[in-house]
Chain A
Amino acid sequence: RKEVEQDPGPFNVPEGATVAFNCTYSNSASQSFFWYRQDCRKEPKLLMSVYSSGNEDGRFTAQLNRASQYISLLIRDSKLSDSATYLCVVGNNNAGNMLTFGGGTRLMVKP
């Protein structure tokens, strides 16, 4: 079983739709949580950190449930430019903040 699991998708949604991605992690010692975005043939880039209280950045909302070891990302009012792969990532500060990545969820937003 992978340490960080995500539905690979693809999620095909129309512009303006709301889409949600979920992720589960197995290491209860994980201390930091992130969503990264990766465009085709590009490097991953940090989209947002995820906090237990939940956090929002514009159209993006992230939630963390430590008890269930579950992380979510909600994208509202999808844009064509949101098309990318979204990587769920957990960090272990005891290992120099080594990041463990999920396999990614591919999102395609269509006109």
Chain B
Amino acid sequence: GAGVSQSPRYKVAKRGQDVALRCDPISGHVSLFWYQQALGQGPEFLTYFQNEAQLDKSGLPSDRFFAERPEGSVSTLKIQRTQQEDSAVYLCASSRTPIYEQYFGPGTRLTVT
């Protein structure tokens, strides 16, 4: 079956541009997570949705980061006024319920120039 998909796979943005990253979770998965992975580091939690409810956004690094999942399936992570320090791989993961295994998408590699 289809896994988690993310688009675009690669994004180059000029500093100050806004970007939107999309995540299509596995169908029927209730939980959706966003993580940020800097080069040479492990992924770091950004935010968590259960269906359409954003239950935890404690990992979002600034108010330039915004995530939504309006219909409880597809999610979008938006970064406004991108900065060079936003360059990273953004990973989306979904799970059937909160306590089950998280399946990761291939990530979006964002480069801010």
Give A contacts to B, CB under 8 Å: 4, 8, 32, 42-46, 87, 93, 95-104
Contact = CB atoms under 8 A, between A and B. Distances in A.
11 contacts: A32-B99, A44-B43, A44-B91, A87-B42, A96-B98, A98-B33, A98-B48, A99-B45, A99-B93, A101-B44, A104-B41
- Give the secondary structure class of A's interface: mixed
Nearest to B49: A96
Nearest to A91: B99
A45 B42 contact: no
A101 B42 contact: yes
A68 to B, nearest CB: 21
A72 to B, nearest CB: 17
B88 to A, nearest CB: 13
A38 B48 CA distance: 22
Contacts of A99: 33, 35, 43, 45, 93, 102
B95 interface: yes
Contact of A97 (B31, B42, B91): B31
B42 A93 contact: no
B87 to A, nearest CB: 15
